[in-house]
Amino acid sequence: MTETEPIPTAGAPDATAPAFYAMRGGGWRDYLTLLHPPYTIWHLSYVALGWAAAPAAHADRLVASLVAFFLAVGIGAHALDELNGRPLRTAIPTRTLIALAGVTIALACAIGIVAAARTSWWLLAFVAFGGFIVCAYNLEWLGGRFHSNTWFAIAWGAFPALTASFGNASRLRWEGFFVAAACFALSHAQRTLSTPVRDLRRRTRTVAGQIERTDGTIERLDAAAMRAAPESALRWMSLALPLLAAGFVVAKLG
């Protein structure tokens, strides 16, 4: 049998980072890492897709929805998540994280309330659910009952899309439900891919093993090799969804 060279690991900073997009720790870099940039943009894409599914084309409602979800998800949810065990290993002070979460989630809810006053008071139901789930999921309320793949897909996939669709059309429509269902499935796929990657990056000390091919070739396994495929898929998906959403928005406004 022949043996191939060991699969090279990533460079030291990337190989030991808690996420592929995490920057070297310290100062402003911690705050940028806190935003989870690829994933935040990915989930804001669901907002745009939901908005584009409605027959109307209210650009101001799209902007308001994107700002509200950026505040609640991009900053607020991720600040709460970092409070709960420091998964990104940032040095952001606890008081700062609490303030970021409280202020941004409150501002997001305020935007929703103003939008409800201008469009439909039924939008308040979405505001209430959003305010609840962002805390219940990230702080693992009720023993973590809401901290699951299914609730992740509902909260960060289906909910943004359905909210934006309702906000644009001022009522629930079948096309909004279909887009929300697709975003649910995409978010579930994201979670399925990201869970083992996070485990390898954050909770695994060493990986040892090998793959023996039918031609006798042996490839050594390590953590970098095991996360390469799912992490590559996540990178491509985090690029594809914003491009897809941008295309739909441009077509809608055109």
pLDDT tens per residue across span 175-232: 999 999 999 999 999 999 999 999 999 999 888 889 889 998 998 888 888 999 999 9
Indicate whether 234 pLDDT > 80.
yes
pLDDT at 196: 94
What's the CA gap between 102 and 72, in Å, rounded?
9
Average pLDDT over residues 105-131: 97
65, 163 in Cβ contact below 8 A?
A: yes
pTM score of the predicted model: 0.90
Residue at token pair 């095991």? 226
pLDDT digits (tens, 9 = 90+) for 5-45: 333 333 334 667 999 999 988 899 999 999 999 999 999 99
Q: Give the helix/strand (H/E) hosting 111.
A: helix 94-118
Mean pLDDT of 131-159: 95
What is the phi/psi pair of residue 209, to 5°? 170, -175
Q: Which CATH number fits domain 16-185+238-253: 1.25.40, 3.40.50, 3.30.1330, 1.10.357?
A: 1.10.357
Q: Are 108 and 64 in contact (CB under 8 A)?
A: no
Place of tokens 């899309």: 161
Q: What is the DSSP letter of 122?
A: T
φ/ψ bin of 121: left (φ > 0), alpha (ψ from -120 to 50), beta (otherwise)? alpha
Residue range 36-69, pLDDT digits in tens? 999 999 999 999 999 999 998 999 999 999 999 9
Residues 71/127, Cβ–Cβ less than 8 Å = no
| Domain limits, the chain | 16-185+238-253
Residue owning tokens 């970021």: 100
